[in-house]
Amino acid sequence: MDPRTHQDLSLHQRRRSPTADELDGIPWLPLLLPPERERAVASLLVGDANAGDYVCRVGRPVTYWFGVVEGLLKMSSDDAQGQTMTYAGLPPGGWFGEGTTIKREPYRYNIQALRKSIVAGLPLETFHWLLDHSIGFNRFVMNQLNERLGQFIAAREIDRLNNPDVRVARSLASLFNPVLYPGVGEVLRITQQELAYLVGLSRQRVNEALAALETQGAIRVEYGGLRVLDLAALRSSVFQLKGG
């Protein structure tokens, strides 16, 4: 018998079959025809990630197409000076890495769990089989690629913003993207420290920005998360006129 506890095992070693509830949280499964869905469900696996666990690492070969069933991940990389650049947060319902999976190339970014999360993986060969056979799956992946392009263009704009309130507003808006992250809904379960990691600001400055956004009626801070009241305002530049 293996003397290691469940916590000692790697994320890959902790993989298991998904439950019915976890399958219900995978947004592209309902788009498949019955034979396609049967094949996908038979190969899907989930892993129980602990805070700090890496789902993907720079330079590693792609083996799965991944999605967040529960929890929160971040996509980042390190520059030549060792500084970490965060590209995106990945909340529930988000599937990522389709470009890397299509090209079968090594990862150019790290994906790390910010808290305990459940991560689903579709094996590489099943992903390509669905691309070859499923119209519904192809449409989902095309929509993902299109939305992801817009997300990264917006991320570059956020990096150039000097107004912290606007940075927080735009970063929150990206986490509430209904196409990329359909599992979020109107309430995002996130702490101020987690948001600070994603935005690249101190927790204190994020707290001040959230207070300003709440005063302006864009969000409401609730226990354990944030509720968006005006997503269009978060996406606009209105806060540049009101912020510091």
User: What is the pLDDT, as a whole number, of residue 243?
Assistant: 45
User: What is the pLDDT, as a whole number, of residue 149?
Assistant: 79
User: What is the pLDDT, as a whole number, of residue 178?
Assistant: 85
User: What is the pLDDT, as a whole number, of residue 44?
Assistant: 98
User: What is the pLDDT, as a whole number, of residue 2?
Assistant: 47
Rounded to an integer, what distance in angstroms lies between the CA atom of residue 71 and that of residue 60?
23
CATH class of 162-242: mainly alpha
User: What is the pLDDT, as a whole number, of residue 241?
Assistant: 42
| Contact status, residue 224 vs residue 160, Cβ threshold 8 Å | no
| Contact status, residue 70 vs residue 92, Cβ threshold 8 Å | yes
Sorted by where each begins, the domain ranges of the chain are: 6-155, 162-242
| Contact status, residue 111 vs residue 75, Cβ threshold 8 Å | yes
User: What is the pLDDT, as a whole number, of residue 43?
Assistant: 97
Element at 14 (helix H, strand E):
none
Superfamily of the domain at 6-155: Jelly Rolls (2.60.120.10)
User: Which portions of the chain are predicted below pLDDT 70?
Assistant: 1-9, 79-83, 152-162, 237-244
Taking the complete model, does pTM exceed 0.85, yes or no? no
User: What is the pLDDT, as a whole number, of residue 48?
Assistant: 94
212 DSSP β-pair partners? none
Contacts of 52 (CB under 8 A, 6+ apart): 112, 113
Contacts of 24 (CB under 8 A, 6+ apart): none
The reply to whether 162-242 shares the fold of 6-155 is no
Closest to 207 (Cα-Cα) out of 197, 196, 217, 218:
196
User: What is the pLDDT, as a whole number, of residue 7?
Assistant: 53
* Residue 96 burial by Cβ neighbours in a 10 Å radius (0-12, 13-18, 19+): buried
Rounded to an integer, what distance in angstroms lies between the CA atom of residue 71 and that of residue 75?
14
